[in-house]
Structure 1
Amino acid sequence: MKHLFIGGYGPDILTANSEFDVVARTAADKASFLAFHPTLPVLYAVGEQDTGTLTAYTVTDGELSELDGRPSEGSQPCHLAVHPGGELLAVANYGDGVVSLHRLDANGAFTGDPIVLTHSGSGPVWERQERPHAHQAVFHDDVLHVSDLGTDEIRRYALDGRALDFVKLPAGTGPRHLVFAGGRCHVAGELDAMVRTYDGDWNEVAAAVASEQPGTNYPSHIDVAGEYVYVGNRGPDTISVLRAADLSMVAEVPSGAAWPRHFAIDGAAMYVANQTGDTVSVLTLRGGVPQPTDVVIDAVAPACVLPR
């Protein structure tokens, strides 16, 4: 890692160096999720406002300079992703469930009109599922996958915005984040506090609780490294380590502070954005299990960490 970029609900995007010192602060209100262009030194950020925004930044030695910006076409954007080809960016707007697709030019700036994908529906947990709530956008095999917490669906679209068959999950799942690995898809359910694994035909092949700790849990981010699935648990304030093969629990360890909203794995390091703890914890992976270190980065309500 050369730099670590930290977005969240504070007033800035922070840049920390490899010594974990903050070396730059870029004004950006509620930049709750970040994503890099696959080939260009360009960073993208959402602005999680009622009228959402997107901003593109050119990155030079960790310093950010604004390249372009536009509306997210929805309310409270909370996630974005860039297609591996580098010509398309997708945004999930939590507030109204709108997903938007934005074309990128050769410099990584926005070009052309966006494609706006609206949706309808609800779920049984009325206080959270009264309408669509798009929570994550993931490109996989040239298909855009959107986890919709409000409708218990994985929405699927072609790159031109054409709707494909949606995947219906168990009622009350509240899918938040998902990750593809080894021909499977692992889904973290925020509302049922479960992790579910699906095969290539979207048959459920495994399911397990995200945390074995007592009390209420709201799983957040999910990722895969090697043979393990990692899940952040808000409430227990832990990171769970599950075997990817069958979701059996390997370990559950403290995240370092309160409300682990997001984490990133980079080699043997794990960086955890503890939102209400106002810190990013630096953990080290030993035998696949995160271990504490004495390194923390102070940040106001961090919600996303991105090593680069």
Structure 2
Amino acid sequence: MDKKFWVGGYSPDGGGASLGIRAVEISNGVLRDLGLAHHADSPSWIATHPKLPVIYAALEPRGEVAAYAIIDYDRLELLGKPVPAGDLVCHLTVAGSAGPLIASCYGDGRVLAFPVNPDGSLAKPAVAPASKDPFAVPGHDARASRSHQSTVLRSGRIITTDLGHDSLRVWDLDAGELRLRQQIALRKGDGPRHLVEHPSGLIYVVTEHGAEVVALQADLTGIYREVSRTGLGEAIFAGEHFPAEISLDPNTNRLYVGVRGARVVVVLGLNAGRPLVLGSAPCEGEWPRHHLQVGSSLLVANQLSNTIQVLGMDRQDGLPSKRLGSLAIDSPTCIAAQVAGR
């Protein structure tokens, strides 16, 4: 069965060569470029609305978020003007079918909740309280807040990462506004980037600077604490290699982490919730910024080699060790599945 995707990337304003949002298709392991769906300046992250025929793009260097109506599988139309978000807005999450769009801004640390109008366009956002560095030292220069990702938890709460403050924050969503429930401090220098939630309730956070996967677990009151941390293998070194995306296998028994600089995807099994490295496989390109599992294949967006690789997964250990195909795409940074029926 053919499956279609939206691909975002960096344009010249972000140091890349992308022209905007492209549509691609995979069939029998073969990727095909369906063309430019809409011109955009560095749509580095794309989020799809779960109900409406609308997608959202973080126009990172512009500090804006754009909404697009889906006209066809290979064509988009701008839904109103792009709206201001914050410096280097880098990630978007739609908080459910009737929830707001959560935006994370790397440049100034802002986290915003944009109300979504009935047609999918965006209203004026509510800005969450600024992060407070848990490692701040009086008399020393303040460290910059670097918001990087938001995730909707099964509880309905929102969790966000702050790569600059080495912390995560858990929020209650109250009448469209984010109310801080808990700040979780990791180790100074970890640089938490992205995370996934397991059906068990465990949260797995990949650290960009620490090159580890940190597991968090909530107690009976819903307060999260660190329960384990796992390195990504003997060949992955903090400060030299930089983990990017972390994903959970649909069978929920493996984690996949793309590692920039090392040119690999690391696979971790889950043993009673604790990650254990099973091995790694080449990503067949440079700077694997994002990846997406599609059936028994892994699509890897190799930003600096301008390709999306299709890697086949081994049935036994899950390693993406079979090269099935490659598609030339300028500066790809995000792959988002199109929703069937749109």
Which string of whole-angstrom CA distances, capped at 9 and with x for unpartnered residues, describes residues 61-89 of structure 1?
A: 23111123433421001100001234310
Task: Tell me, yes or no, if the aligned pair for 1:37 and 1:86 is still in contact at 8 Å.
Answer: no
What residue is the counterpart of 1:177 in the other structure?
A: 194
Q: Distance in 2 between matches of 1:236 and 1:298?
A: 21
Structure 1, gaps ≥5 residues long: none
Task: Tell me, yes or no, if the aligned pair for 2:256 and 2:268 is still in contact at 8 Å.
Answer: yes
Matched, 1:12 2:25: no
Which string of whole-angstrom CA distances, capped at 9 and with x for unpartnered residues, describes residues 156-201 of structure 1?
A: 2221221211111111110000100121000000011111111123
1:70-85 map, 5 Å: 70-85=82-97
What residue is the counterpart of 1:116 in the other structure?
A: 127
What residue is the counterpart of 1:273 in the other structure?
A: 301
| Larger-gyration structure (1/2) | 2
Question: Which aligned runs of 4 or more in structure 1 are off by greater than 6 angstroms?
Answer: none
SS at match of 1:276: helix
What residue is the counterpart of 2:147 in the other structure?
A: 134
What residue is the counterpart of 1:303 in the other structure?
A: 333
**CA gap 1:211/1:12 in 2 versus in 1, 3 angstroms:** farther
- Given the alignment, which residue of 159, 167, 170 partners 1:145? 159
Q: Distance in 2 between matches of 1:39 and 1:146?
A: 23
Task: Tell me, yes or no, if the aligned pair for 1:90 and 1:100 is still in contact at 8 Å.
Answer: yes
In the alignment of these two chains, the number of paired residues is 303
Matched, 1:100 2:112: yes
Q: Distance in 2 between matches of 1:173 and 1:277?
A: 27
Question: By how many angstroms is 1:123 displaced?
Answer: 7.8
Q: Distance in 1 between matches of 2:133 and 2:327?
A: 39
Aligned amino acid, residue 172 of structure 2: A
**CA gap 1:68/1:283 in 2 versus in 1, 3 angstroms:** farther
Task: Tell me, yes or no, if the aligned pair for 1:210 and 1:233 is still in contact at 8 Å.
Answer: no
Structure 2, gaps ≥5 residues long: 11-17, 137-141
Task: Tell me, yes or no, if the aligned pair for 1:191 and 1:218 is still in contact at 8 Å.
Answer: yes
Question: By how many angstroms is 1:213 displaced?
Answer: 1.4
Q: Distance in 2 between matches of 1:55 and 1:281?
A: 27
Q: Distance in 1 between matches of 2:326 and 2:281?
A: 16
Matched, 1:30 2:42: yes
**CA gap 1:21/1:261 in 2 versus in 1, 3 angstroms:** same
TM-score when scaled to structure 2? 0.84
- Given the alignment, which residue of 320, 326, 333 partners 1:290? 320
Among the aligned pairs, what percent are the same residue?
29
Q: Distance in 1 between matches of 2:201 and 2:236?
A: 32
- Given the alignment, which residue of 221, 237, 252 partners 2:245? 221
What residue is the counterpart of 1:188 in the other structure?
A: 206
Question: By how many angstroms is 1:53 displaced?
Answer: 0.8
Task: Tell me, yes or no, if the aligned pair for 2:312 and 2:324 is still in contact at 8 Å.
Answer: no
